[in-house]
Amino acid sequence: MQNTSKLARDGAKWGLLMVAPTIIGLLVLNIYPFIDAIRMSFSKSLPFGMFEFEGIDNYVEMFQNAEFWKATWNTILFCILTVPVGIFLALLVAVLLNSKIRGRTTFRAIFFLPMVVAPAAVAMVWKWIFNTQYGIINSVFGVNVGWLTDSRFVLFTCAVVQIWSNIGYDAVLLLAGLQNVSATLYEAADLDGASKVKQFFSITLPMVSPTLFVVMIMRLMSSLKVFDLIYMMVDDANPALNDAQSLMSLFYRQSFIAGDKGYASAIVVWTVLLIGVVTIFQFWGQKKWVNYEV
């Protein structure tokens, strides 16, 4: 018994030692900065990095600011545009890559390729493609549309790039879930005369729903925190900036350009609360459609 207890204690010590770098990184790079952001959100920025406590003034100013509400709506609309379409296309790609087609390994690499390319490079290439004067899109279709300068199209254009960038990664995750579905289920369905469409909705979709749920959480969080794509594709001189600016873009401008870190921290806290509400709603709703049965 003593040897067993000693081995258990030694195992616990080694386990804590192994996870210590991750825990320390989480505390230093995530937890402490967020707590500090909450503190700064109740403070006024002063010169030389100093702050003065001023209560909820930053939040009052934020909720009365039309630019803030516009950025919030842009962020929510961006999620609506990217998440459902992106997940649907990723699932479609995953199903095709899971089928017996020639060169599927090559196709998997091609679809995953955007994930290994720097977001800045992706944004710059697509910015050139959608350019009004010499972009490929306008040249091919013979139109003169300001995809990135017209307020009617700018957010949809950014959403297209976001979807294209993430399809490969999401498809790989969903492909892993598809490959865990037992082949005997499909064999039994074939014997019962079920069509491929019925098999997809009765077998494939329920069995891959846990992976689909994880992908949905990741994609929603990513869309709510979008910054680099919009920052690279829509610069400060763009007349459509107000119609594409996300919460994180507004945070960047207020913190690093305007220098009002207290107000910017309030935007961060609001974004975290928004992500928290969406996540809680997802976990509540997943009980109705996610199947964890083996």
Given a cut of 70, is residue 47 above it in pLDDT? yes
* pLDDT tens-place string over residues 223-272: 999 998 999 999 888 899 999 999 999 999 998 888 888 999 999 999 99
Q: Which of 189, 184, 167, 193 is nearest to 95 (CA)?
A: 167
The domain spans of the chain are: 2-41, 65-288
Residue of 108 and 250 predicted with greater confidence = 250
Q: Which region among 23-32, 67-76, 284-293 has the lowest average model confidence (pLDDT)?
A: 284-293
Distances in Å between the Cα of 161 and the Cα atoms of 101, 121, 126, 226 are: 27, 12, 7, 12
Give the pLDDT confidence score for residue 2 in this predicted structure. Answer: 55
Give the pLDDT confidence score for residue 162 in this predicted structure. Answer: 93
Given a cut of 70, is residue 294 above it in pLDDT? no
Give the pLDDT confidence score for residue 71 in this predicted structure. Answer: 95
Sole residue written with tokens 């010590």? 13
Structural tokens at position 183: 């082949």
Cβ–Cβ < 8 Å for 125, 215: no
Residue of 232 and 192 predicted with greater confidence = 232
pTM, rounded to two decimals: 0.87
- The CATH number of 65-288 is 1.10.3720.10
Give the pLDDT confidence score for residue 1 in this predicted structure. Answer: 52
Given a cut of 80, is residue 110 above it in pLDDT? no
Cβ–Cβ < 8 Å for 42, 58: yes
Give the pLDDT confidence score for residue 290 in this predicted structure. Answer: 81
Which of the listed ranges 65-79, 121-135, 187-201 does the model predict with the highest average pLDDT? 65-79
Q: Which of 161, 160, 159, 167 is nearest to 115 (CA)?
A: 167
How far is Cα 17 from Cα 182, in angstroms, rounded to an integer?
A: 38
Give the pLDDT confidence score for residue 80 in this predicted structure. Answer: 94
Alpha helices in the chain (DSSP H): 2-26, 32-41, 57-63, 66-98, 104-112, 119-129, 136-141, 154-178, 183-191, 196-199, 205-224, 228-233, 247-252, 261-285
Given a cut of 70, is residue 147 above it in pLDDT? yes
